[in-house]
Structure 1
Amino acid sequence: MYQSTIKKSVELVGIGLHKGSPVKLKLEPLEANSGIVFYRNDVDVAIPLTPENVVDTKMATVIGKDGNVISTIEHLLSAVYAYGIDNLKVIVDADEVPVMDGSSASFCMLLDEAGRHELSEPKKVMRIKKEVVVQEGEKYVKLSPSPDLNYDFTIKFPHPIIKQQDYSLKFTKQAYKDEISRARTFGFVQEVQYLRSKGLALGGSLENAVVLDDKKVLNPEGLRYSDEFVRHKILDAIGDMSLIGMNFIGNYEAMAGSHDLNHKLTVELLKSEENYEVIELVGEKTKELEKAYA
């Protein structure tokens, strides 16, 4: 199995969640061993996708360099990671990635339009060798060895619509598109009001998020899945874990996980090479993984 990029450049325009202004996003091919690189063409700054460049994880995963940031990268990265794209230049003309409909479905369609181009270098993946856990109270995120890739997530909210939700994804690209990609980000109306008072979430609306009051979902079309909330948490986790720099083989498990805990998990994982090994996918052993990204 070989590294990949996209066949052709593609672009779209959408609203930024926090500023509420239009943002132009363009994806361009990159050569092998380049990784995922973000570039802000309004300030001429490139920001490589590494845990060291994460500068904020409160509301979203935010990367930065020299005081320049790009926010809300996780939904796009979730799609890129699910498609197995290894090398890509992501260009934006503002400090955030457009939110689109609050899911990663638009980015999946963009990647389908771009197509996949196989390069000449072997694909590298990280195989989890030891259990790695980050825990804060009852909340935790964990990676453990597994022959394939799985995501298991549990959330608990004291809300009559959400309550406790559990979801397990045995990863394939197709399973991701069918089960995860359409799940939207969500929030509570009182939180939205508070954020707007702070000059944030100015682009947030029922068009790009599931919004709840104390008792119900306010979106007139309702939910896309009865458990859309936990599915979106898996979508976020897949994007956040891309900060390790490559796809991985192992089991991800979370109880009330967050962008912050996911970031801390990537840092903890990379602290010691006892936790993982990087392998090149060559020969017969790659056949099953190739199917997963077909």
Structure 2
Amino acid sequence: MQTTLHHEISLSGTGLHSGRPARLVLKPAPIGAGISFLRRDVAGPGARIPARWDLVTPSPLNSQLQNAFGVTVSTVEHLMAACAGTGLTNAVIEIDGPEVPVLDGSSAPFARAILSAGLARQEAPLEAIEILRPVEARAGAASARLDPGAGLVVSFAIDFPDAAIGRQVKTLDMANGAFLRELCDARTFCRQADVDAMRATGKALGGTLFNAVVVEGDRVLSPGGLRHRDEPVRHKMLDALGDLALAGAPILGRYTGVRAGHAMTNQLLRALFAEPTAWRRVEVDEATARRLPGYRLAPADLARVA
């Protein structure tokens, strides 16, 4: 079944790249509405930005949406991952500026808020996107691929010269609860040299050692170190889940990313929807629902969230 929130919830923080204060309110939405953003600082019809793959516009460090009026909202990936990971399908996200707050750099605060509000089941069937044949996007040594599968499996490989990260590979079946247990608390990460370069170009102005994992060589500079030994690859998987959520429906298939980023996962979705024989929409029955990330999570599951 489709779901929405029992009641509205609000979160406040700072935009990771803009450094500006940011506040958002998640509100219930009717059947079939999907997820959309509503810029409260913009008047008229241009204020609404649906969370869709075809509205993703180039942005090197995050996922940014732009509607037909040129209005944008950026850094949506952690919030979209929380929506997908908790099974929230219909919501309006009111936001007072152009960037979603980074909070602690993970999806955990968003997931906690969604599950605290509770999900209301709506009397309408949910559809999923079933992958029928392989689709791939490539650029140099990076790639992203979707293959057929009964549920959603996410696999990722990264390789960084810094010994604090190095090469990491992980695969997870995203069936009920795996997002909360394994991914949602994994924070965004970067190298100290990247921080210096980003700030020199006006990016990462809201980044701190408390909302990102910053490494230099074999050292983790962020207080407390890593939440997981392989936190960086887990965060890349979290990002991929959020970017895949822009498909507008749960995906039944296997995603494999190798050094892939936001832009490549979006290229993969564009390649998928350009090939009508590579996918189909299917109604989600009870057996299929059990294989989706957000199947019947309850407030008690919050104990597993960092």
- How far apart, CA to CA, are the structure 2 residues paired with 1:194 and 1:113? 38
- How far apart, CA to CA, are the structure 1 residues paired with 2:287 and 2:96? 42
The answer to whether structure 1 residue 12 and structure 2 residue 19 are counterparts is no
- How far apart, CA to CA, are the structure 1 residues paired with 2:203 and 2:293? 41
- How far apart, CA to CA, are the structure 1 residues paired with 2:87 and 2:215? 34
CA pair 285-181 structure 1, distance change in 2 beyond 3 A: closer
- How far apart, CA to CA, are the structure 2 residues paired with 1:21 and 1:290? 35
* AA at the equivalent of 2:192: V
- What value does the CA root-mean-square deviation take over the aligned residues? 1.4
Contact 2:176 2:295 in 1 (8 A): yes
Which of 27, 31, 52 lines up with 1:50 in the alignment?
A: 52
- How far apart, CA to CA, are the structure 2 residues paired with 1:113 and 1:176? 16
SS in 2 for 1:120: coil
SS in 2 for 1:70: strand
- How far apart, CA to CA, are the structure 2 residues paired with 1:111 and 1:8? 9
The answer to whether structure 1 residue 229 and structure 2 residue 232 are counterparts is yes
Which of 280, 284, 287 lines up with 1:281 in the alignment?
A: 284
CA distances 1:247-286 after superposition (whole Å, capped 9, x unpaired): 011101111111010010010111122011101124x544
Contact 1:244 1:270 in 2 (8 A): no
- Report matched runs for 1:1-294 at 5 Å: 2-44=1-43, 45-65=47-67, 66-282=69-285, 285-286=287-288, 288-289=290-291, 293-294=295-296
Shift in Å at residue 114 of structure 1? 1.5
SS in 1 for 2:220: coil
- How far apart, CA to CA, are the structure 2 residues paired with 1:292 and 1:69? 28
Q: How many residues align?
A: 292
Gaps of 5+ in 1: none
Shift in Å at residue 90 of structure 1? 0.9
* AA at the equivalent of 1:83: T
CA distances 1:35-77 after superposition (whole Å, capped 9, x unpaired): 1111111013101122221112310000012222111000000
SS in 1 for 2:144: strand
Gaps of 5+ in 2: 297-306
- How far apart, CA to CA, are the structure 2 residues paired with 1:156 and 1:286? 34
Contact 2:162 2:216 in 1 (8 A): no
TM-score (norm. length: structure 1): 0.96
What's the % identity of the aligned pairs?
Answer: 35
CA pair 287-100 structure 1, distance change in 2 beyond 3 A: closer
